[in-house]
Amino acid sequence: AYSYIRFSTPDQIKGDSLRRQVEESEKYALENNLRIDPTLRFEDLGISAYKGQNSTVGALKVFLNAVESKKIPVGSTLIVESLDRLSRATVLKAFSQFTGIIEAGITIVTLIDKQVYSRENVEKNPMLLFGSIAVMMRAYDESATKSDRVAKAWSKKRADAVKDKKPLTSRCPAWLVLKDGKYIVLE
């Protein structure tokens, strides 16, 4: 078995997400007579799945490549907390990735809802796919809403900075310093 751990922002390392996901994966493996391969760890800590960065440059891409090259053998299990750990992309992209993993002969186990998605299980009970699509829709919608709110907040901050003739942020190039609400050039 292989465990895939992901959370979106670097600040989440300070919380409980990493411990929780690792612990629950190990617990599932133990209870189901699986051994998590200690030589291949797949962790995207602080990498977003909304725009697919985890599957294009992250550890999930490494996992997908290992599946394709058969380094991860057919019949293996991928343990994830929830499908939204794999992707928060649009439903078609997320579903394509999800079914691609299953079609490659890898079973996906989601810990939060105790689902086991294998080629055999899905063929016996195609209704499983409806639940997976609902999770993918929710994940994308949540991320899209957050993205929209953040974009609007930054747009307002930029407009206020222009209107009030004040710096947008205290971050600046090394040759500047913010003092009393104004940038000062360091000679």
Please identify every residue annotated as catalytic: 8
Task: Please report which helix (H) or strand (E) contains residue 179, including its range.
Answer: strand 176-179
Single out the residue of 87, 50, 59 nearest to residue 2, CA to CA: 59
DSSP lists the bridge partners of residue 184 as 177
CA distances from 23 to 97, 100, 104, 158, 175 (A): 25, 27, 27, 43, 46
d(CA 6, CA 49): 8
